[in-house]
Amino acid sequence: MSLLPIQSGGASLRTGGRGAVPRHVAIIMDGNGRWAKKRLLPRVAGHRQGIEAVRRTVRAAGDLGIEALTLFAFSSENWRRPASEIGELMGMLKRFILSDIDEIHEAGIRLVVLGDWRMLQGDIVELIEGAIARTANNTRQTLVVALNYGAQDEIVRVARRLAGDAAAGRLDPATIDAAMFEGGLDTQGLPPLDLLIRTSGEKRLSNFLLWQAAYAELLFVDTLWPDFGRDDLAAAVDAFAARERRFGGL
């Protein structure tokens, strides 16, 4: 499936709504295992179908005008899964980069990776570094992938760095504010998070973008991730557009 944008003149994906399209959407891609179980298939079949959902969703995000799309691909807690499943997931990650990076680049998509991904095995790190460098100057859309990511770890890393600077006399602790802290997060340089979606019906954040989600709109949908696609994302954007965001004001 091509990730290139649809040419103008086609039907709009939007079906209504009275507000703006979210600049930054994040998705907790949940339900691959349940999708496979319902079909009496091994869990890996759900993960493979989940890759197809990624392709559909990245393309739909570009068509909808979403500036940045963040996908929770592998959490720091996912290492607790069976080694065989982790191996399959890492293999699929490698194949996705090798097979899709040309189309991602041609579509004008910049790749950004969050988390402690440099702790992954060397060949995967090398592939990721190459993909990031190749797409660094693309401006049509940003695809953000969270790999070996945990929000609590991210916050601790920033706090540790600031504490070290303060202890070394490079920073006055009294000057630390929310803007300074946010500037040290993995998401620095990205638009503020507007909408966070979780698929599969679960209603929790699971240690994902805890700081960034402070004023994001949250949307929990029953669709299992392998079934998620253009219509689901369009419906989520319309739900966002219909909400009134006050950010603590009246």
Res. 216: pLDDT tops 60: yes
- Determine whether 30 is an active site residue: yes
Question: If pLDDT is split at 50, 70 and 90, which confidence band does 250 have?
Answer: low
Q: What mean pLDDT do residues 175-198 have?
A: 97
Cβ atoms of 225 and 200 closer than 8 Å: yes
Question: If pLDDT is split at 50, 70 and 90, which confidence band does 159 have?
Answer: very high
Cβ atoms of 170 and 180 closer than 8 Å: no
pLDDT of residue 249: 66
Q: What mean pLDDT do residues 20-35 have?
A: 96
pLDDT over 70 percentage in the chain? 91
Q: What mean pLDDT do residues 86-113 have?
A: 94
Domains of the chain: 24-150+192-241 (3.40.1180.10)
pLDDT of residue 4: 45
Binding residues for substrate: 31-35, 43, 47, 75-77, 79, 81, 198, 204-206
How far apart CA 229 and CA 59 sit, in angstroms, is 9
Res. 100: pLDDT tops 60: yes
pLDDT of residue 9: 31
Range of weakest confidence among 66-70, 93-97, 165-169, 210-214: 93-97
30, 100, 194, 238: the catalytic one is 30
Question: If pLDDT is split at 50, 70 and 90, which confidence band does 3 have?
Answer: low
Binding residues for Mg(2+): 30, 217
78, 153, 207, 227: the catalytic one is 78
pLDDT of residue 207: 97
pLDDT of residue 247: 72
Three-state secondary-structure class, residue 198: strand
Q: What mean pLDDT do residues 45-59 have?
A: 96
pLDDT (tens digit per residue) in 64-98: 999 999 999 999 989 888 899 999 999 999 999 99
Contacts of 19 (CB under 8 A, 6+ apart): 240, 241, 242, 243, 244
Which pairs count as long-range contacts for 115-123, CB under 8 Å and 24+ apart, including other chains? 115/74, 115/76, 115/146, 115/147, 115/148, 115/149, 115/150, 115/153, 115/154, 115/186, 116/76, 116/148, 116/149, 116/153, 117/147, 117/148, 117/149, 119/148, 120/90, 120/147, 120/148, 121/90, 123/94
Binding residues: 30-35, 43, 47, 75-77, 79, 81, 198, 204-206, 217
Q: What mean pLDDT do residues 216-232 have?
A: 98
Question: If pLDDT is split at 50, 70 and 90, which confidence band does 245 have?
Answer: confident
pLDDT of residue 113: 97
Question: If pLDDT is split at 50, 70 and 90, which confidence band does 10 have?
Answer: very low
Contacts of 104 (CB under 8 A, 6+ apart): 3, 58, 111, 131, 135, 143
pLDDT of residue 244: 82
Cβ atoms of 16 and 188 closer than 8 Å: no
Res. 13: pLDDT tops 90: no
